[in-house]
Structure 1
Amino acid sequence: MKIYALLFLVLCLSQQLHAKEIDVYAFCDASTKFLKKLSVLPLEDLVAVKSAIAASSSLEELSVASGVPYIDWIEDTQKQLLVSESDAKLIVFEQVKPIEFSRYSRVINMHGVKDHRLWDKVLNDCVSVNLAALID
């Protein structure tokens, strides 16, 4: 559950949002829908992506493995923290790798699940964790 909070905070940093402007419910809804879409992919493909994420040792490798370009995150991290591009890449990599790994772990665990109550629990857990993270 802490992974959702970290992902949410990283996304907020990348979009330079203030806590009052954040719609946790919309974020968690979109995140849960994305996980649900991934959960219907072949299990072997999901395991392969998770393995590639685990083996990644740089942001570039992680980007290839996850299919997510992190260019905006690098630029935003540089601006927010006033660091070099190489430092920003390392910061983003260290923050995002555990998130991506956990995302695929959750997707693998939820593979093929069609029960709306279980997906609703995923959504509710995301909302609870992220609202708590904003309060802290």
Structure 2
Amino acid sequence: MLRCAAVLLGGALLAACGTGETETNATGAEETRGTPVDATAALPASAVAAEAGVYEGRPVTVDGRIAAVGATGCEVTLTTGSRPLVVAAPRTEADGCAWTVPGAAQGFAVAAGTLRIADDTLRLTANGVRVTPVRISDAGPSGPSP
């Protein structure tokens, strides 16, 4: 009986890993779309926006309140207090998105990627995004490591 339960659990874990997206956890508290995101080094989106030149072209992990989700779910705009910070999914060969976020998503998003600036809009292309009901990063900004 124990062996059967272990096999079923292992199969469920493999099935979840193979899709590239994980379902909402049992409490409905958060979900990850695309590649898992390590939020331990996340900086507030407002801090990154305030010093965008420092982070431009560099990998950075940000978190911020979700202001809007694009019509296709391929982009999430984070509140920064200044210019917009758009977290975008990479495009697939089939002209789709590597991940999508439901249009009704609320709360905070954490994403890691390389920051670019285009037409006064900050864009972070991220292989995954984590949607949570609470902020994960510390309130204070800190610069990137050398």
Larger Rg: 2
- Return the TM-score normalized by structure 1: 0.29
- Return the TM-score normalized by structure 2: 0.28
Higher helix fraction: Structure 1 or Structure 2? 1
Higher strand fraction: Structure 1 or Structure 2? 2
Higher relative contact order (CA 8 A, sep 6+): 1
